[in-house]
Amino acid sequence: MGWMNPRWGMRKGQPLSSLHVNPGNLPRHVAIIMDGNGRWAHRRGLPRVAGHRAGMKAVKEVTRAADEIGIQVLTLYAFSTENWKRPREEVDYLMRLPQEFLDRELQELDEHGVRVRLIGETDGLPPHTLRAVEAAMGRTRNNTGLILNFALNYGARAELVNAVRSIARRVKDGELRPEDVDEATISAALQTRGLPDPDLLIRTSGELRISNFLLWQIAYSELWFTDVLWPDFTREHLFEAVRAYQSRQRRFGGVDSLPPSDVHSGQ
């Protein structure tokens, strides 16, 4: 069990290494672009799929760590709408990972009260992939702990297109007046409806891009980029990012740093 790692010792049930994460100033929602799996494998002379497999271990460790420090929502970018362009064999392999992960981890996640959720175009997923994730969502629906939100076949622009279409339809049907469309209308039309926006977005592997991940939702997120490849990303790296978030909040936490959405100027 990662959080019982004796290297760090324990105090009041908490590993010493997470003590410097301030429990009062946590990001509620952390989103992660899990990049660098292929590069990790290449550096070891292994096939890309070996990197994806190693990446699953990091998913497990980071989920446990997020739960342990009390993060409310963890959104993980597992498969983008652009990833279909990869070789057929790699895509087939990736599409078996959700089931494999859940077969191994769902029991423990459920026991910890974790709720599994999904964002992305579910229609495009192979039936066996969708079945596994839907079963996990059903089983954990009434849990009240960490929300573990997987982005699968997700693209932010496609999500916004669907949101605009659903709003346009409500306007056309006379349910909604154009002048009543506001930020809350759009937030509620996205697949992340009901979730807080990410406070912290992490991207691994040194790329400094958003790559069509949550575009609307990250308007005011703190961004944390690291050169660490995703399979090498540990609980300590998560805590490092959270501590950086907390120190930024301390330095810029004055009234002036309140995002306009908190002021609701209406403009």
The interface with ligand V07 within residues 242-261 (CB under 6 A) comprises: none
Mask for 123-142, x = binds ligand V07 (CB under 6 A): ----------x--x------
Is residue 152 close enough to count as binding ligand V07 by CB under 6 A?
yes
The answer to whether 72 and 29 are in contact (CB under 8 A) is yes
Q: Given 5, 22, 37, 83, which residue is catalytic?
A: 83
Structure token pair of residue 87: 């070789």
Interface region with ligand V07, contact rule CB under 6 A, candidates 11-19, 51-59, 219-227, 243-251: 51-59
Residue 25 falls in the annotated catalytic set = no
Q: What's at 264, amino acid-wise?
A: H
Among 48, 52, 64, 237, binds ligand V07 (CB under 6 A): 52
Please give the full DSSP string across 158-181, using - where no structure is assigned: HHHHHHHHHHHHHHHTTSS-GGG-
Interface region with ligand V07, contact rule CB under 6 A, candidates 98-106, 139-147, 160-168, 259-267: 98-106
Among 21, 26, 56, 147, binds ligand V07 (CB under 6 A): 56
The answer to whether 109 and 63 are in contact (CB under 8 A) is yes
Structure token pair of residue 15: 């590993």
Is residue 32 close enough to count as binding ligand V07 by CB under 6 A?
no
Q: How far apart are CA 201 and CA 75, in angstroms?
A: 9
Which ranges of the chain does DSSP label H, i.e. alpha helix? 37-43, 48-69, 88-111, 127-140, 156-172, 183-189, 235-252, 260-263
Residue 153 falls in the annotated catalytic set = no
Pairing assessment for the beta strands 29-33 and 115-119 based on DSSP bridges: unpaired
Min CB(85)–ligand V07 separation in Å: 15
Is residue 238 close enough to count as binding ligand V07 by CB under 6 A?
no
Contact footprint for ligand V07 (CB under 6 A): 34, 37, 52, 55-56, 59, 78-79, 94, 97-98, 101-102, 116, 133, 136, 150, 152, 230
Active-site amino acid positions: 35, 83
